[in-house]
Structure 1
Amino acid sequence: MAQVLEFKLPDLGEGLTEAEIVRWLVEVGDVVAIDQPVVEVETAKAMVEVPCPYGGVVTARFGEEGTELPVGAPLITVAVGERPASGEADTAGAEGSGNVLVGYGTSEAPARRRRVRREQPVSGASAAGSRAVTGQGAAPVAVNGQAGAPESEDGPVPVISPLVRRLARQNGLDLRELTGSGPDGLILRADVEYALRAAARAGGAAQTAQPHAPVPQATSTATAPQPTAPQPTAPQSTAAAVHGEIRTPLKGIRGAVADKLARSRREIPDATCWVDADATELMRARTAMNAAGGPKISLLALLARICTAALARFPELNSTVDTDAREVVRFDHVHLGFAAQTDRGLVVPVVRDAHARDAESLTAEFARLTEAGRTGTLTPAELTGGTFTLNNYGVFGVDGSTPIINHPEAAMLGVGRIVPKPWVHEGELAVRQVVQLSLTFDHRVCDGGTAGGFLRYVADCVEQPAVLLRTL
């Protein structure tokens, strides 16, 4: 007799209390092995594949893609000890592995739980374990006063969220006629909105060509008025999007960034100073290093090495403010964050113990974390715990900026693009490689003299890399 075990959303660490289901990696009826990833979720920190500690047959799934669940909410149920109908070997193990992220097995789900409302009732095993498929295949039909569509025999259309299905359904759009622009052909909300705008333009052109044509009546109960029995309406963003206004929910990584930036502006009395520096010698030094053989050294790694040397001289900037205790907390280590732009928004991976790394080690770690950011595999631990941030906004082709401090840190060094400019060098006008450096700092941890001293030291190292020899 098989034993059915429930696998709940585990504690993902770093104080995270909820996650959004991005993509299911298994279907009901699939055989899973112990520690096999079963779902990909997005937290406020990163994308995470969640492994199941049990082996067996998936009997139910809870939550559609796009659903936001709290830690401790059920994810799937697994029949342990049951031999699949196909005769595959029994991989079940009731004891499980226990290797599911942090704190697996939260016994009680928080009282607050947010779910994506299903548009039509689903009975039997489908309600417990399979994805509701609506708005696909044939034209929409009325189900209890709401628009719906029978499930296609060809299987579900890959759609990023139930909201996208509802938007298509309410406008009579067949999702199978669309080509998704997301990963693996995933249909995004932007794809549906584009199709609706194209249909609106085509309809307008037809009415212009036939000005006396009668106005057609609504063909879908989803758009027909229901004065006697009001139906749940789509969010304002859904309706507005058809008329040229697009609204994007601030959630996941984007929401976390928004919250952190807003908090930084509210709590930190920041100030910015900047200076132009001649980076010609730094660029020559890097060229010489890379010409000598061995792993290539990145410019970001050299700038990071300069940062750690400057923080050793001006440790006030490697700190944070404990507002409750009204104390400045200074760190004896440098966990260096660096801003990286990804498809899911801005992330700030952290290089641990950057002060103890040489240029080669920094180059390798920057490359590893940057690639993880692009692929969405950064862990929560790799995105938290920074003590100082280096922001190379020069990669966007801009000279200067006044960045917002990465709360709860106390400072951020910004580096603009390095470009040839007229410069007085050794008493004569010459064309040199010039960069603008900026420092945004928390005025509570230091005054302008300290901030200016830090920035001037950084500029001196950029202009004369030999200055770094004093701290090596």
Structure 2
Amino acid sequence: MAQVLEFKLPDLGEGLTEAEIVRWLVEVGDVVAVDQPVVEVETAKAMVEVPCPYGGVVTARFGEEGTELPVGAPLITVAVGAPASGGPTDAAKLPAAQGTPAAASGQGSGNVLVGYGTSEAPARRRRVRPDRPAPVTAPPPPPQPPASASASAEPTNGRVRTGESVAGPVAVISPLVRRLARENGLDLRELTGSGPDGLILRADVEYALRAAAVQGRTTTAAPASHPRLAAQPTATAVPTVTSAGTRVPLKGVRGAVADKLSRSRREIPDATCWVDADATELMRARAAMNAAGGPKISLLALLARICTAALARFPELNSTVDQEAREIVRLDQVHLGFAAQTERGLVVPVVRDAHARDTEGLNAEFARLTEAARTGTLTPGDLTGGTFTLNNYGVFGVDGSTPIINHPEAAMLGVGRIIPKPWVHDGELAVRQVVQLSLTFDHRVCDGGTAGGFLRHVADCVEQPAVLLRTM
């Protein structure tokens, strides 16, 4: 006899207590394998796929896309050892992945998140036909485009609900965009997407809603084309357009950032020092490295290598303050965070053990994390545990800044844009590539002399990259 097991939203770690359903990956009636992802959720840290530890037939799922659930709330129920509708009753007739001891006993795999204990790629889901059992050796079906997905009581990828009927295919980047349009009465078929192949992005919907608010209407079509507001962070929560303005809940990534910044301002007595540096030789060194072949070395990787060298000389800045114990905790490993602006808002991915990586290793890890940030696939582990942050705000075209320290760290190095400026070089006025460097630090962990020494060493390495040879 089949045993129906309930799979609840698991503890996602890092103190997270809730998550929003972004996209269902299975439907009622699907056969799922052990550790197969069944739902994609967005937490305050990242977007993650949640695998089910049971194998069997999905009998129910709880919550529509866009619903926020607390940890411990039911996600799906799975009939373990159940026959495919109208098929044989023994578990051996299910796909091979379902006949594992874990599934048969109801114990599950014990795994929670993809990348946290799941070592193999999950099997693709197979739709159970009501007139025949799922074959044991049948290969998984090829991926189907979103528009061909079967209709259900909830929106499916690429389709929009209008009242109680399903409209034609619309290329939309995510279910959250559909929800935003639906809750504000916006017809996505009237929009022209600014994404690849006309894909409708959240910025397109928000642009249309702002235009509607200005014109005093609740529904409007966006212009045929408009600039994508990529430089502006978007909230993970759905804005509400009112006659007085737009109200944006501080939830998800944006809410987590707001809480951390507020805590940093409350707890950390920060101070900032800065210096201008001649980056001409650093830029020449980078050009020479890249001309030699191999992966292109980014400026961020070079600056990160300089940071780790400076932290080795001034370890006070790689620390945190234990307020309850009233102790400064100096950390042995450098886990280097770097600020990255994405469509979901500001995130700070972390390069683990940056002190043990050479420039090429740092470069590769920056590339991996940047791509994951762009696609929204950073894991909670990628976004936590930093001990020092590098903030390259020069990409926004500004020279300087006094950033807020990424709590509970003790310091952040800021790097402005590198531009040609008049500079006295070898006793003569010349045009050189100049950058402003700033260090914001927790004054509890060190005095200005230590902070100034750190910043001066960074500037010396920027001006004379050969200084790094001492620590390579």
- Relative to the length of structure 1, the TM-score reads 0.76
Q: Equivalent residue for 1:442?
A: 442
> SS where residue 295 of structure 2 aligns?
coil
Q: Equivalent residue for 2:379?
A: 379
1:101 to 107, 113, 119: 113
Determine whether 1:346 maps to 2:346: yes
Q: Is residue 184–residue 218 contact of structure 2 (8 Å, CA) maintained in 1?
A: no
Q: Is residue 136–residue 175 contact of structure 1 (8 Å, CA) maintained in 2?
A: no
Q: Equivalent residue for 1:232?
A: none
1:3-402 pair list within 5 angstroms: 3-85=3-85, 90-91=94-95, 92=98, 93-94=103-104, 95=106, 96-101=108-113, 131=154, 136-137=161-162, 149-152=163-166, 160=176, 165-168=182-185, 190=206, 193=209, 196-197=212-213, 200=216, 238=240, 240=242, 243=243, 245-402=245-402
In 2: Cα distance, 1:239 partner to 1:460 partner: 51
Q: Is residue 339–residue 390 contact of structure 2 (8 Å, CA) maintained in 1?
A: yes
Q: Equivalent residue for 1:122?
A: none
Pair 1:155–1:465, CA change in 2 (3 A): closer
Q: Equivalent residue for 1:119?
A: none
- CA positional deviation for 1:42: 0.8
Q: Equivalent residue for 2:229?
A: none
In 2: Cα distance, 1:425 partner to 1:446 partner: 33
- CA positional deviation for 1:130: 5.2
Pair 1:410–1:19, CA change in 2 (3 A): same
Letter in 2 for 1:440: T
Pair 1:319–1:285, CA change in 2 (3 A): same
Name the stretch that deviates more: 174-183 or 252-261. 174-183
In 2: Cα distance, 1:62 partner to 1:38 partner: 12
In 2: Cα distance, 1:261 partner to 1:51 partner: 32
In 1: Cα distance, 2:406 partner to 2:52 partner: 34
Pair 1:177–1:421, CA change in 2 (3 A): closer
Letter in 2 for 1:11: D
> SS where residue 75 of structure 1 aligns?
strand
> SS where residue 361 of structure 1 aligns?
helix
Pair 1:371–1:238, CA change in 2 (3 A): closer
What stretches of structure 2 of length at least 5 have no aligned partner? 118-151, 221-237
Q: Is residue 27–residue 130 contact of structure 1 (8 Å, CA) maintained in 2?
A: no
- Relative to the length of structure 2, the TM-score reads 0.76
Q: Is residue 64–residue 162 contact of structure 1 (8 Å, CA) maintained in 2?
A: no
Q: Is residue 212–residue 218 contact of structure 2 (8 Å, CA) maintained in 1?
A: no
In 1: Cα distance, 2:464 partner to 2:296 partner: 21
In 1: Cα distance, 2:265 partner to 2:414 partner: 17
- CA positional deviation for 1:60: 1.1
Q: CA RMSD in A?
A: 3.3
In 2: Cα distance, 1:340 partner to 1:86 partner: 52
Alignment size in residue pairs: 400
Q: Is residue 240–residue 248 contact of structure 2 (8 Å, CA) maintained in 1?
A: no
- CA positional deviation for 1:189: 6.2
In 1: Cα distance, 2:164 partner to 2:359 partner: 60
Letter in 1 for 2:94: D
> SS where residue 246 of structure 1 aligns?
strand
- Which is greater in Rg? 1
- CA positional deviation for 1:464: 0.7
- CA positional deviation for 1:373: 0.8
State the Cα deviation string for residues 35-92 of structure 1 (Å, max 9, x = none): 2211111111110011112222222111122222121110011222233348696233
In 2: Cα distance, 1:56 partner to 1:399 partner: 58
Q: Is residue 136–residue 174 contact of structure 1 (8 Å, CA) maintained in 2?
A: no
Q: Equivalent residue for 1:419?
A: 419
Letter in 2 for 1:372: A
Identity between Structure 1 and Structure 2 (%): 78
Letter in 2 for 1:299: L
Pair 1:77–1:307, CA change in 2 (3 A): same
What stretches of structure 1 of length at least 5 have no aligned partner? 105-128, 138-148, 205-235
State the Cα deviation string for residues 91-137 of structure 1 (Å, max 9, x = none): 33334322223999xxxxxxxxxxxxxxxxxxxxxxxx95499x954
Q: Equivalent residue for 1:123?
A: none
- CA positional deviation for 1:295: 2.7
Letter in 2 for 1:266: R
- CA positional deviation for 1:416: 0.6
Q: Is residue 276–residue 434 contact of structure 1 (8 Å, CA) maintained in 2?
A: yes
> SS where residue 247 of structure 2 aligns?
coil
Q: Is residue 209–residue 218 contact of structure 2 (8 Å, CA) maintained in 1?
A: no
In 1: Cα distance, 2:440 partner to 2:294 partner: 35
